[in-house]
Structure 1
Amino acid sequence: NEVVCHGIPDRRELENGDTVNLDVTVYYNGFHGDLNETHCVGNAVSEKTKKLVKVTHECLERAIAIVRPGTKFRDIGTPITRHAKANGFSVVKDYCGHGIGDLFHCAPTIPHYERNKTRGVMQAGMTFTIEPMINEGSHHCVTWPDGWTAVTKDGKRSAQFEHTLLVTDNGCEVLTARTPTSTPLWWEQESE
């Protein structure tokens, strides 16, 4: 619900109307992969929350669409911010995407908000994550006393989606893409 990222599971049971983010990391044959998705729990999720989740996924898709050799890393935040703001939401500034490969977190840093000052230009062969965190209210976050769980400062909801990408000669490959046999996301199920 209000957890932005790094939520530590506890004994609270999920309730009808909640959202939950599942963040999965894999280390295989010397390389890391990282992805996450926000899911709606039950059938009592508000329309505003459904919109937040869907818009967050769309923000990720819009950012992926500009990944190719020659794109500046700082430009990733522009389509994310514009789409989030156009839908009445804000973009978290405290947490970023990151380089990934034989190390789990490495350069480059990928801010998800526009007008950031990150440096660097995409080149074929680079791997990194894009993982926008979009808030229903303010973009401000606080950390719980566990020293890890980041939540919205105003207590409103947040959603996040993430993929690991490989820059190719003429675009990118989503290394953590859903497969044809993956369970569709809820809005994909509604359109069937």
Structure 2
Amino acid sequence: MTDEIILPPYIGVDPQRIVVVNSTADAIAASRILAASDVLGFDTESKPVFMKGQVSQGPHLIQLATLETVFLYPIRRGESYVLLQQILESTSILKVGFGLGDDQQRLHAKLGITTQHVLDLARALRTDSRCDVGAKTAVAQFFGQKLQKSKKISTSNWAVLPLTDKQKQYAADDAHVALKIYHAWQAQRDQG
């Protein structure tokens, strides 16, 4: 018999606080809120590739979170993302997330966006130089809760719109939990 500790589930973002940016008006409203922030949760989602040598065409979704709202940007072919680019390339807004190396490379390759002032929590939270810390581990460590990450949703087709409610929730939680963990980590460092 094992003494496995059962953690309560992490309760994600309220669905009413998830905004899908589908128009220029949405983008303007989102950029005003995002530009007023000093730190944002950040992530991207891409349609998965399953064949060896196949190259991802992502990102298909970009997520940016404040503590109050998560903005989801579906990426459509041929559209301009000037306001989003300004946020992602800002040197005065810190963008935090987990495992952001591929995200940054894909953003540059697909949209010409060179993200600036980014903190990859997977590396920042390491306790040894070889082991990155994932969001699940960080949620358990900082909040004493279990982050549910559905493989079915994570490997769903992020290029097909509209997104399902489960996709929206998954994507929003990824960006939002990174921001919450960043703040908890900073509070812990300030106390230590």
Larger strand share, 1 or 2: 1
Shorter-chain TM-score above 0.5: no
Larger helix share, 1 or 2: 2
